[in-house]
Amino acid sequence: MDRRRFIILGSAGSVAVLTGCGGGGGAAMPPTGTAPPPASPPVANPPPATPVSPLTAGQPLTDLARLPNTSASPGVFDAALVAQRASKSMLPGTSTEFWTYNSLVPGPLIDVFEGDTVRIRLENRLSQQTTVHWHGLPVPPDQDGNPMDPVAPGASRLYEFTLPVGSAGTYWYHPHPHELTAEQVFRGMAGLFIVRPRTDPVPAAIEEKLLVISDLRLAADGTIPSNTAMDWQNGREGNYVLVNGQNQPVLTINPGQSQRWRILNATNARYLRLALTGHTMTLIGTDGGLLRTPVPGLDEILLAPAERVDVIVTANLSSRASAVLQALPYDRGSMGMMGFSTSTIPLLTLNYTSAATAAVALPGALNSIADLGVPTKTRRLVFSSGMGMGGMGMGGMMSFLIDGRSFDPTRIDLTSRVNEVEQWTIENRSSMDHPFHLHGTQFQVVSRTHGGVATAEPYLAWRDTVNVPAFETVVFKVVQRQPGKRMYHCHILEHEDQGMMGVLEVVA
Ligand code: C2O
Ligand code: CU
Ligand code: CU
């Protein structure tokens, strides 16, 4: 655990609250699970009177701190996660209180192998309930941190699961408590979870870099403000986009060198249209693992909230300039009042060294993805939103619905059979994009509409999250392998907290 960067408030077991912390500090949060909505009646925050001074930029990219394995047995990963507050100085002369896993922002890297048994004890030192959800991993439903299984403040629980062979991929973990997920994530709780194959088809000579992209909104006094009514509608975007918790860090590369970048969009709501100036990218993997073959020559990659990609970046040999990884403007629609992401945001600088390195060739075949086959059941889900439809959102104005309903943890919305191949059509009848996410398994996108015209997906890929643009439709095939209850929802976390979520019961 890297604690150098933090001043830890309070000793083990206590919950420290910073004085001078704004309304979002959390001291007044409801303590338990059947809590009222997390925001007091929201009032749009006025813009800060004085501009926020910039965060330090240009530091070397730090590697993610690793969650230590305390097990001596091969094939067993034993570890502890502590949900607790921790403070760090972000703006000069101020202190910012985060909610963290193990006092780290982002949370520690969990790095395991296929076949491993993972046992992680969560200790909740927050003043409200939480859970740990293992986003994208095929874990049993009762180990998946569903909102129906909260860990009370002061309590702890063990999560235990075995990762099957074939599950290698780039996953993440984050809290999933009923109505409190958005706030716990935007205050700092999220981490990367890598599952490696015993033999990786990507040559080890290709250096791997892990990039966790998160959003941070800081007030001028260094506090992290609560969501505004607008945030509850459109999803919160911060005023900084961080990579591994750093503002515009620097990564170095040798001319000609290839690097493997695993990138996670851990933001609540920001769409990352990633581009690297002067370079193309080669896509080799998505959420749930490697593609069959590399997809080279990409000028940009759209990474919706919760999505991950595995890409190869190769430095030029001829022009030895530095490059910038950017998030280009993307219009994700809105609930009618403001647009989003209208500017290009620099995320990371790639600096060339002078020593050239020979590029390492990628194998032509990376992974054997079998097509899930002919579906024997089809279903259609409809995203909608509007004023006063089926209940009020936490913003007090708008509701966010799936099939016309708002989430009810006691209701079963859909039923599937174990091992049955299904085809799901997700139709978005609202004026903004929503990233659809399903727990417990990976799916294969079959087609997507653009301007209402369907296009077949060009390659097979394992995904657990897919963007459904405003007024468009996405079709995928999916099989659930384990019985129990699974969540499906929009991964704009403000929408999820406001009920854009349902329960799928998988029966044997
Ligand atoms: Cu990443 Cu249901 O969550
Ligand atoms: Cu998930
Ligand atoms: Cu949404």
481-503 pLDDT per residue, tens: 999 999 999 999 999 999 999 99
Q: How confident is the model at residue 14 (pLDDT cuts 50, 70, 90)?
A: very low
Ligand 1 lined by 308 (C-beta under 6 Å): no
Ligand 1 lined by 306 (C-beta under 6 Å): yes
Ligand 1 lined by 176 (C-beta under 6 Å): yes
Nearest CA to ligand 1 atom 1: 135
Distance 428 CA to ligand 3 centre (A): 10
Ligand 1 lined by 264 (C-beta under 6 Å): no
Q: Is residue 183 within a helix (H) or strand (E), and if so which, with residue range?
A: helix 181-186
Ligand 1 lined by 487 (C-beta under 6 Å): yes
Task: Please tell me the chain's helix, strand, coil percentages from 3-state DSSP, rounded to the nearest 5.
Answer: 5, 40, 55
Measured between alpha carbons, how far is 200 from 81 in angstroms, rounded to an integer? 28
Distance 427 CA to ligand 3 centre (A): 12
Ligand 1 lined by 448 (C-beta under 6 Å): no
Determine the pLDDT at residue 386: 80
Q: How confident is the model at residue 258 (pLDDT cuts 50, 70, 90)?
A: very high
Measured between alpha carbons, how far is 344 from 277 in angstroms, rounded to an integer? 12
Instruction: Name the maximum alpha-carbon separation found in the chain.
Output: 62
Q: What is the share, in percent, of the chain residues with pLDDT greater than 70?
A: 86
Pick the more confident residue, 5 or 151: 151
Ligand 1 lined by 369 (C-beta under 6 Å): no
Q: Average pLDDT for residues 74-87, to the nearest whole number?
A: 98
Distance 75 CA to ligand 3 centre (A): 38
Cα→Cα distances 52→20, 42, 49, 91, 327, Å = 17, 22, 9, 8, 21
Nearest CA to ligand 1 atom 3: 135
Chain segment 353-409, per-residue pLDDT in tens: 988 998 899 999 999 999 999 999 999 999 999 875 444 455 556 899 999 999 999
Measured between alpha carbons, how far is 406 from 367 in angstroms, rounded to an integer? 39
Measured between alpha carbons, how far is 367 from 116 in angstroms, rounded to an integer? 20
Measured between alpha carbons, how far is 130 from 146 in angstroms, rounded to an integer? 10
303 within 8 A of 274, measured Cβ to Cβ: yes
Q: How confident is the model at residue 253 (pLDDT cuts 50, 70, 90)?
A: very high
Chain segment 417-476, per-residue pLDDT in tens: 999 999 999 999 999 999 999 999 999 999 999 999 999 999 999 999 999 999 999 999
Q: How confident is the model at residue 54 (pLDDT cuts 50, 70, 90)?
A: confident
Determine the pLDDT at residue 225: 98
Distance 142 CA to ligand 3 centre (A): 25
13 within 8 A of 83, measured Cβ to Cβ: no
Q: How confident is the model at residue 6 (pLDDT cuts 50, 70, 90)?
A: very low
Please say if the pLDDT value at position 128 is more than 60.
yes
Residue type, 317: L
| Number of the ligand 1 atom closest to the C-alpha atom of 174 | 1
Measured between alpha carbons, how far is 116 from 426 in angstroms, rounded to an integer? 34
Determine the pLDDT at residue 338: 53
Ligand 1 lined by 135 (C-beta under 6 Å): yes
Name which of 18-27, 190-199, 202-211, 229-238 the model is least confident about.
18-27
Average pLDDT across the chain, whole number: 89
Determine the pLDDT at residue 398: 82
Determine the pLDDT at residue 387: 73
Q: Average pLDDT for residues 288-314, to the nearest whole number?
A: 98
Distance 399 CA to ligand 3 centre (A): 10
Cα dihedral 41/46/47/48 (nearest 10): -100
Please say if the pLDDT value at position 19 is more than 70.
no
